[in-house]
Structure 1
Amino acid sequence: MSEIVNANRIRNTIIAFAAIALSIAIFFGFQTQTGSVSLEAQAKESTPIEVAMKNGKPTLTEFYADWCTSCQAMAPELAQLKQKYGDSVNFVMLNVDNNKWLPEILRYRVDGIPHFVFIDDQGKAIAQTIGEQPPSVMEANLNALIDHETLPYAASTGQTSELKPTNNPTTDPRSHSSQLPHAEV
């Protein structure tokens, strides 16, 4: 009988240690997840477009949406680029779901996201890229932007998320109505 009691104690001790280890792993897993780079946090820290157009620095403008998986995938890489180039380049983020940015959405013909517009230090748009871009491509373009050179990957298109039309296509310019030209997919 004492062997059964001892076996039960050993089993219960192992279960308790496993539960503690699992609880610790879950706790640290959630800590890592909340520490990741979010689009919302980056947008709050980005340079306002009004400031970027007047401060004499080149600008990288990103059109994004919180639901865009490509935008989410690029967020950590763009945060690193912002740390590296933030003194030389304005990083502007405009959420396509915010009607406030409708004039810019129309001006730059944003029809897929992420959509990046490279703007020189005089406020002139000189290149655009659409979709998920490798960090090396973004970095090469930023270096060229800073050096007043032709961007090597200005016409590149990566994986995109299409803008989703609302229920009323006649009043929403993002609906891709007949007034706005769009590319065939």
Structure 2
Amino acid sequence: MPKKSFSELISSPGMPVLVDFYADWCGPCKTMAPILEQVASQHQGKLKVIKIDVDKNQAAAQQFKVQSIPTLILFHQGKPVWRQAGVVPATQISQAVQSVLR
């Protein structure tokens, strides 16, 4: 199966995509991992969650001007509709997801 490009990943038709820009060495990124798992399970079948390692995918991080990690960007129909840097509570992420699911 061919590897999908970043633009293909965020353009999931009819389904918002939450992108977590992170790095393996980042402590706050590790804190976000279980929160993102919780959000993904709450919105199973309605939301795609993908993780982008900024050390391995510098072009994607530069494209969206990611200056600190973790940075979460919610894409809807291929366009960024919500963005937050730092550790974010699951409730705040879910509210952003719900706003595009309506």
User: What amino acid is the match of 2:41?
Assistant: Q
| 1:18-48 CA-partner distances (Å, limit 9, x unpaired) | xxxxxxxxxxxxxxxxxxxxxxxxxxxxx98
Q: CA RMSD in A?
A: 1.8
Q: Which of residues 22, 37, 40 is equivalent to 1:64?
A: 22
| 1:71-107 CA-partner distances (Å, limit 9, x unpaired) | 1112112111111113101111100110xx2221111
Higher helix share: 1
Contact 2:29 2:69 in 1 (8 A): yes
Q: TM-score, normalising length from structure 1?
A: 0.49
Shift of 1:109: 0.3
Contact 2:16 2:75 in 1 (8 A): yes
Matched residue of 2:24: which SS? coil
Q: Which residue of 1 aligns with 2:73?
A: 117
Q: Which runs of 4 or more aligned residues in structure 1 lie more than 6 Å from their structure 2 counterparts after TM superposition?
A: none
Q: TM-score, normalising length from structure 2?
A: 0.84
Gaps of 5+ in 1: 1-46, 148-185
In structure 2, distance between residues paired with 1:52 and 1:117: 10
Q: Which residue of 2 aligns with 1:106?
A: 62
| Greater relative contact order (CA < 8 Å, ≥ 6 in sequence) | 2
